[in-house]
Every structure is written in C-alpha cells, then in structure tokens.
Homo-oligomer: A and B are copies of this chain.
Amino acid sequence: MLKRVDSDWLRDINRRRVLREVRKVRAVARVDIAEATGLSPATVTVVANELIERGLLEEAPAEAEGDRRRGRPRVLLRLAPGALRVAGVKLAEHRISVTIVDFSGETVGESETAVRTRSQPLDALVGLIEDNVRAAAKQARIRPRDLAGIGIALPGYVDAMTGTAWWSPVLAEPEVNLTRLLEGRFPCPVFADNDANIATLAELWFGLGQGVRNFTVVTVEHGVGMGMVLDGRIRRGARGLGAELGHMKVALDGAPCRCGQRGCLEAYVADYALLRRASPILPDIDLADPARRREGLAALTTLAHQGSAEANAIFREAAAMLGLGMANLVNIVDPGMIILSGTRFRNELLFSDIMAKTLKENSIPFGPPGPEIRTHVWGDLLWTRGAAALALEGLFDDTLFGLQSVRGEVQLTGA
C-alpha cells in the first residue's frame, strides 16, 4: 500500500522538478538536470522519457560546435511548444487585450478591443473577453476548446485563490467572479489575479526573476503595485489579495488617496497625485480621463526639463517618497532583487538618484549589500504574458498532473 499510493505522488513531484528545470534553462542536457535537481541521472532519464511520450518535452540537438568536440553530440531537452496553449487576458480601463502563448512562451495569437471597460454591463464585458479569446485562437490556428487554460490580469483587489475581484477600476460592480463567468464559456480552467502579481509571474516565468529565490516587483502605472516571491514562490498573504505597496502609508495623516485613506504612497507618486500637486502650474486637467492624465504628465515632464522649479520639486518629492516606500519593502521583505516593471519606469525624473539615495538611506544598513535594483520595460506585452504565466502556474500546480490532493502539503520551491 505504501509503495503504490505514494509512488504516484513521488513521480508527480519528480516530473514537476524536471519540467521546472527545463523551463528555467530553456534547453538543457539530462545530465545537467540531474545536477541541478539532485535527482539521480537514472531518475531523470525515466522521468524525461515519460514527459517526451506525453508530448510535454522534446529533444533538440545541441547547437554549439564546441559540444561535439568534447565527445559524442549532446542531446538537449526543451519544452515542446505545441504541448499546450494558454490565453492571457488583460483588462485595462480603456482596452481588452488577449495573447495566446504556447508551452515555450512564444506568442502565437493576439486580439484586442478598445472599450471603456467600466461602462460595460458585466455580461457584455464577459462577451467581449470571449470574442477576443476566440479571435486570438483563430489567429493561432487552434480551436477555442484546445486552450489548456485562461489567465486574467486586472487592476484592483483580486483574490487569486477564488478569482473574486473585490473591487476593480475596470468593473462596474464590486465582488465579481470573472473566472466563474468565463468557465461557463470555455471548457478549460480560468484564473484571475491583480496586475502587480501578474507582473511578478511574468518575471518569474519569462523575465528577470527566472531562478531567483527572493525578489519583489514594483509596478508604477496609474497606481503603484507590488508582488513578492519568497523562497521561490509568489506569496499572496492570508486573504489572497497580494501586497499593496501603493497603499503603504508613508506619512501619518498624510495626503488624501483615491482609496479614501490618507498618507498612501500612491497619493504622492501616482500620475493623478503628481498632477494634483501640479494644479497651480497645470490647471484644468481632467484627472478622471486616462488620456488627459498622460498628456498632463508629459507636459509636467517637459516643464521639469525646461527648468521649472515647481515641476522639479514635485518629481523630487515623489522620488523621495518612492525611495522611502521601497526602503520599507527592503526592511520588511528583504528581497534579493527589486524589479521595477512597467512603462512608467522610462520616467527618469521619478526613478532618479533621489529615489536611489532615499532608498539607501532608509533601509537596513547592516549585513550583506541590499537588493540589486533592476528596471524591466516590457511594454504592453507584460500583462498578457503575465496572465498567460498565471494560467501556466495554475496548470502546473493543480491540473497538469491532477495534483489537487497535495495542494498545501508539499510544494516545489525551485521555481
């Protein structure tokens, strides 16, 4: 009994270890998998052959000449691109975007619709998401029912464990479960998570976080978000809402935030906060309109570059507050790397020496050096790639090997 029951479970674990290693390195020899995972070469061979049979891995000849000179040609293993395809959906205030990626992470289909998401009745919004997934599948030359999973990225407070969006600026109603609504329209599992965790998964699966055990991702768009990987896995906390760096308080009874509280980092750093402070020099900007906010921020940046003392003071204060918030990240979570992700990091006025100096002056001064700070400008690809990573993560963890039963008991941390 002992042997039979638990050997299945063990084989599942070993399959996942091998798959994760291949995913991490992209193309890798069996012997190197054994070395990296600590599994015996014999175990790796057995498991790898089974994964090839199931169509998840494929063999590829080593490209480098050098390998052949050292002995017989090495055969590398890589993810079989056609093994499965997932759809990543991004809901923004003014757009729905869908990208379909294959198992190796390549984009094979895309679709998008410009729409004021929040103005749509829920049923119409779900219909638009469905239409875009179908259009992207058509471009990818697959049937919608061939999708292995769908991931949805949206801003706001989202419980990734249940898929419930408690509040989101792209939804007209509170407490919406998009995953359940979409699972009525596609036969595959659907997952949802907030923007910042999506960005974190994008880094973990496809970006700078591959193989890094402790890192956090900070995103600055309309708001400020973060996600954290500790000991190799994304951590979302007790309520599954993820970390809310944007609503970390950097001052007691400080500036009012759009969330209704005071002193939030967002109330000093987000675009609406910068423009609110800029109203004496840039009046008449409609803060509710994303396009006008973008124009306003461009104008404020131009003023700063032209030497406006007021404009430069606004950016300096925001940069210092951002440095303070990031220092608190270091003081609480102690990441090995902070990845600044998103498009706003192109703004060198905000992500400036002042931010770096404030960060250094306010974080733990003892022990080994603090985290490496890296900037990663993905463009729009970030969100749909990340949403696809969410679907892959959901599949890896639960569905791909039918592992529901071990959830919460054993986990792989090699990520």
Residues 1-53 of A contacting B (Cβ, < 8 Å): 1-3, 5-7, 10, 13-14, 17, 37-40, 42-43, 46
Residues 388-415 of chain A, each 1 if its beta carbon lies under 8 Å from chain B, else 0: 0000000000000000011011111110
Residue pair A332, B367 in contact (C-beta under 8 Å) = no
Q: Which of B5, B159, B250, B367 contacts A40 (CB 8 A)?
A: B5
Given A252-B324, A328-B248, residue A13 in contact with residue B410 (CB < 8 A): yes
Q: Which of B2, B237, B414 contacts A334 (CB 8 A)?
A: B237
Q: How far is the CA of A328 from the CA of B14 in the complex (A)?
A: 39
Given A252-B251, A331-B248, A332-B332, residue A364 in contact with residue B2 (CB < 8 A): no
Residue pair A42, B167 in contact (C-beta under 8 Å) = no
Residue pair B241, A214 in contact (C-beta under 8 Å) = no
The answer, yes or no, to whether A277 is at the interface (CB within 8 Å) is no
| Chain B residues whose CB sits within 8 angstroms of the CB of A1 once the complex forms | 40, 42-43
Residue pair B412, A409 in contact (C-beta under 8 Å) = yes
Q: How far is the CA of A260 from the CA of B259 in the complex (A)?
A: 34
With both chains docked as a complex, state the minimum distance between the C-beta of A359 and any C-beta of chain B, in angstroms. Answer: 11
The answer, yes or no, to whether A235 is at the interface (CB within 8 Å) is yes
Residue pair A365, B231 in contact (C-beta under 8 Å) = no
Q: How far is the CA of A225 from the CA of B361 in the complex (A)?
A: 20
The answer, yes or no, to whether A263 is at the interface (CB within 8 Å) is yes
With both chains docked as a complex, state the minimum distance between the C-beta of A270 and any C-beta of chain B, in angstroms. Answer: 15
Residue pair A235, B230 in contact (C-beta under 8 Å) = yes
The answer, yes or no, to whether A371 is at the interface (CB within 8 Å) is yes
With both chains docked as a complex, state the minimum distance between the C-beta of A65 and any C-beta of chain B, in angstroms. Answer: 33
Q: How far is the CA of A245 from the CA of B243 in the complex (A)?
A: 16
Q: How far is the CA of A38 from the CA of B408 in the complex (A)?
A: 11
The answer, yes or no, to whether A336 is at the interface (CB within 8 Å) is yes
Given A263-B362, A364-B157, A409-B412, residue A2 in contact with residue B43 (CB < 8 A): yes
Q: How far is the CA of A64 from the CA of B408 in the complex (A)?
A: 32
Q: How far is the CA of A329 from the CA of B230 in the complex (A)?
A: 16
Residues 323-366 of chain A, each 1 if its beta carbon lies under 8 Å from chain B, else 0: 01001110111111100000000000000000000100110111
Residue pair B14, A249 in contact (C-beta under 8 Å) = no
Residues 150-182 of chain A, each 1 if its beta carbon lies under 8 Å from chain B, else 0: 000000010100000011000000000000000
Residue pair A367, B157 in contact (C-beta under 8 Å) = yes
The answer, yes or no, to whether A247 is at the interface (CB within 8 Å) is yes
Total interface residues in chain A, CB < 8 Å = 80
Q: Which of B166, B367, B411 contacts A366 (CB 8 A)?
A: B166
Given A6-B10, A252-B250, A362-B263, residue A38 in contact with residue B367 (CB < 8 A): no
Residue pair A243, B333 in contact (C-beta under 8 Å) = yes
Q: How far is the CA of A318 from the CA of B367 in the complex (A)?
A: 29
Residue pair A238, B410 in contact (C-beta under 8 Å) = no
The answer, yes or no, to whether A320 is at the interface (CB within 8 Å) is yes
Given A362-B261, A362-B263, residue A412 in contact with residue B410 (CB < 8 A): yes
* 19 A–B pairs (Cβ distance < 8 Å), ordered by A: A1-B40, A1-B43, A2-B46, A6-B14, A6-B40, A13-B410, A157-B364, A167-B366, A214-B237, A241-B334, A241-B364, A241-B367, A244-B332, A245-B331, A249-B328, A261-B361, A262-B362, A408-B413, A411-B413
Residue pair A334, B243 in contact (C-beta under 8 Å) = yes
| Chain B residues whose CB sits within 8 angstroms of the CB of A365 once the complex forms | 259-261
Residues 77-119 of chain A, each 1 if its beta carbon lies under 8 Å from chain B, else 0: 0000000000000000000000000000000000000000000
